[in-house]
A and B are shown apart, each in its own frame.
Chain A
């Protein structure tokens, strides 16, 4: 079944830890995105990719990094987590052929203590 997956769904970690949030999609979409969102609030684009080996920073400055080595995989990494990184992280993908409608994963809720 074509879908977009995020793991973990919930993560509680201590300050200074390195974390990677996973995002995978099975729809063959070329574009993928990471948004940061306080629950139910405005979305802030932090990274996007238009294809393999293409990554760009979004509108909101973020200390995280991303990679796009395979079309279906777009992980986000925080080298040293801080309490200010506590938020919900949403991954999405889209395809130009569908008018750029975005398909979202269920999100990862990160809490840094």
Chain B
């Protein structure tokens, strides 16, 4: 079946450090891939997405590339800020019989220190 595995947190970085959060997936079809972010006390919001192999999603300085050969969608940012402190969820959405299904990873908490 489909699954998403992302690196365990928490990840603690100093401001302006480089960020990588690893995400790998297994899927039977051709899924769309997403990164969502959840700030304290809020619901999730879409950060970026990619719908086919080799697509790069980007937003707010974050980016991730859909790598079909390695079944990965790692999230990167060149210089993190304190305001990036949040929980990040990798997810895939695949078409199954009866409709789409979205599977979320377990989430990775990021702390950025000033």
Q: Which residues of A contact B (CB under 8 A)?
A: 6, 31, 40-43, 50, 90, 92, 94, 96, 99-107
Known: A99-B93, A101-B93, A107-B43. 18 other contacts (CB 8 A): A6-B43, A40-B107, A40-B109, A41-B107, A42-B106, A42-B107, A43-B44, A90-B43, A90-B44, A92-B44, A96-B99, A100-B100, A101-B34, A104-B36, A104-B43, A104-B44, A104-B45, A105-B43
Chain B residues lying within 8 Å of A99, measured Cβ to Cβ, are 32, 49, 51, 93
Q: Mark B28-39, 1 if CB is under 8 A from A, else 0.
A: 000010101010
Chain A residues lying within 8 Å of B34, measured Cβ to Cβ, are 101
B75 part of interface (Cβ distance < 8 Å): no
Task: Tell me if B42 and A106 are in contact (CB < 8 A).
Answer: yes
Task: Tell me if A94 and B42 are in contact (CB < 8 A).
Answer: no
Task: Tell me if A101 and B45 are in contact (CB < 8 A).
Answer: no
A-B contacts at CB below 8 angstroms, number: 55
B29 to chain A, nearest CB (A): 12
B62 part of interface (Cβ distance < 8 Å): no
Task: Tell me if B93 and A100 are in contact (CB < 8 A).
Answer: yes
- Interface residues of B: mostly helix, strand, loop or mixed? strand
B87 part of interface (Cβ distance < 8 Å): yes
Task: Tell me if A40 and B93 are in contact (CB < 8 A).
Answer: no
Interface range on chain B (Cβ under 8 Å from partner) = 20 to 34
Chain A residues lying within 8 Å of B51, measured Cβ to Cβ, are 99
Chain A residues lying within 8 Å of B38, measured Cβ to Cβ, are 40
Q: A90-B43, A104-B43, A106-B42 are in contact. Are A43 and B49 (CB under 8 A)?
A: no
Chain A residues lying within 8 Å of B93, measured Cβ to Cβ, are 99-101
Can you list 8 contacts pairing A with B, beta carbon distance less than 8 Å? A40-B109, A42-B106, A42-B107, A90-B44, A92-B44, A102-B102, A104-B36, A107-B43
Q: Mark B73-106, 1 if CB is under 8 A from A, else 0.
A: 0000000000000010101010000111010101
- Of all chain B residues, which has the CB nearest A106? B43
Task: Tell me if B44 and A100 are in contact (CB < 8 A).
Answer: no
Q: Which 9 A-B pairs have the closest CB atoms?
A: A104-B43, A100-B93, A100-B100, A99-B32, A104-B44, A42-B106, A40-B87, A43-B104, A107-B43
